[in-house]
A and B are shown apart, each in its own frame.
Chain A
Amino acid sequence: MQGKMKKLFELVAIFFRIGCFMFGGGAAMLPLLQEELVSRRKWLTNEQLMDYYSIGQSTPGIIAVNVATFTGYNYAGILGAITATLALITAPLIVILCLANMLVLYVDNPYIIKAFIGIRIVVVALIAEAVCRLWSSSIKQRKDIVVFAAALGMAVAGVSVVMIMALFCGIGLIIGWKRGWK
């Protein structure tokens, strides 16, 4: 019992810290995890961490959350998974709620409006850069380009993204099923 509590506190310490210090998408979490879990605590090897990350990327949901849940489960079971996940999101949740509360008061402030004009340009550039960065790991064969173009075309043509994702997940699962999992 004592040992279990200690494990849970360790998970809180690790993932609360990561929640405080990661900025941006799931890839931003990797160096932090490498430092904490591979170098410092030696819970995982680098290969294991990359496996976790790759699972987090190809399962539904936020990659960083998936990796936290996975690590927590392997270290301390279901309770560990939930603890790690909650620890990760606590700080961001509080920061966003405070900030959102404040921004509501200042939406009409001319300085805030001006600042956001600059910020929006950076946001689009950041998304474009993410697409570039993910291109090589997502598009590996010719058929991937076809899938990419088909999905983008459907989205631009006005098919709802819920439909598109559900459709392609369904196809992916059927193909995977037919080939056999083993």
Chain B
Amino acid sequence: MIYLTLFMEFFKIGLLAVGGGLVTIPFLYDLSSSYGWFSAQELTDMIAVSESTPGPIGVNMATYAGFRATGILGGIVATFGLLTPSVLIILFLARYLKNHPHNLKFATLLKSVRPVALALICFGGIFVARSFVTSWQTGGLIGIVFVLIHRFKLSPIIYICLGIVAGLVWG
């Protein structure tokens, strides 16, 4: 039953991706290699689409990945799989905080995992780059775009649109 597998796999990601949507990228790469629902290259394109459409990037990627696996129902199942554990955990925490309003420490118990989250985002970036960067020129271009983003801090969609134009002109 593929929908059950899909739900369980995304439930696992939802449970373990502490630190937000970008942390799910390496988990999705794991999925691509163990199930063949989509290729590493396709995943990179999914990240691009998820960055440039409205909504939280983690939710968008789960919907897209589920869709690539088994169609529209797959997209919905994957999204709900991803959301279920975090909704349950937040409900439990919110209830606890109502009774112990000053015990924020408990709610941020996993704060110490933040460096791990950062490492996994970093790893995700390396993985994405590895799927298509084959020349120094490409690497240099990434560096230039990085400096632009860092300097001007505009919305990601603006940079993605610039990428589309550049790709169409010089690609």
Interface residues of A in 115-146 (CB under 8 A from B): 115-132, 134-135, 137-139, 144-145
CB atoms of B115 and A147 under 8 A apart: yes
Q: Would you give the 0/1 interface string for B97-141, flagging 1 where the beta carbon is closer than 8 Å to chain A?
A: 010000111111111111111111111111011001100001001
CB atoms of A118 and B115 under 8 A apart: no
CB atoms of A65 and B86 under 8 A apart: yes
Residue among B20, B52, B116 with most chain A CB within 10 A: B116
Residue among B30, B90, B111 with most chain A CB within 10 A: B90
Q: Is B59 an interface residue (CB 8 A)?
A: yes
Q: A64-B56, A81-B94, A96-B49 are in contact. Are A124 and B125 (CB under 8 A)?
A: yes
Q: How many Å from the CB of A113 to the closest CB on chain B? A: 8
CB atoms of B163 and A172 under 8 A apart: no
The range of chain B's interface size is: 35 or more
Given the complex of chains A and B, what is the CA–CA distance between A88 and B90 in angstroms? 16
Q: Is B8 an interface residue (CB 8 A)?
A: no
Residue in contact with B164 in the complex, picked from A54, A93, A115, A161, CB distance below 8 Å: A115
Residues of A with C-beta under 8 A to B22: 25, 127, 130
Q: How many Å from the CB of A4 to the closest CB on chain B? A: 17
Residue ID in chain B nearest A168 by CB atoms: B116
CB atoms of A165 and B16 under 8 A apart: yes
Given the complex of chains A and B, what is the CA–CA distance between A128 and B95 in angstroms? 36
Q: How many Å from the CB of A86 to the closest CB on chain B? A: 9
Interface SS of B by simple majority: helix
Residue ID in chain B nearest A86 by CB atoms: B83
Residues of A with C-beta under 8 A to B167: 114-119
Q: How many Å from the CB of B41 to the closest CB on chain A? A: 9
Q: Would you give the 0/1 interface string for A148-182, flagging 1 where the beta carbon is closer than 8 Å to chain B?
A: 11111001100011101110110111011000011
Residues of A with C-beta under 8 A to B83: 61-62, 65, 85, 89
Residues of A with C-beta under 8 A to B115: 138-139, 144-145, 147-148, 151
Q: A61-B86, A64-B56 are in contact. Are A134 and B48 (CB under 8 A)?
A: no
Residue in contact with B53 in the complex, picked from A55, A65, A96, A145, CB distance below 8 Å: A96
Residues of B with C-beta under 8 A to A176: 109-110, 112
Q: Which residues of A contact B (CB under 8 A)?
A: 19-26, 28-29, 51, 54-66, 69-70, 73-74, 78, 81-82, 85, 88-89, 91-93, 95-97, 99-101, 103, 111, 113-132, 134-135, 137-139, 144-145, 147-152, 155-156, 160-162, 164-166, 168-169, 171-173, 175-176, 181-182
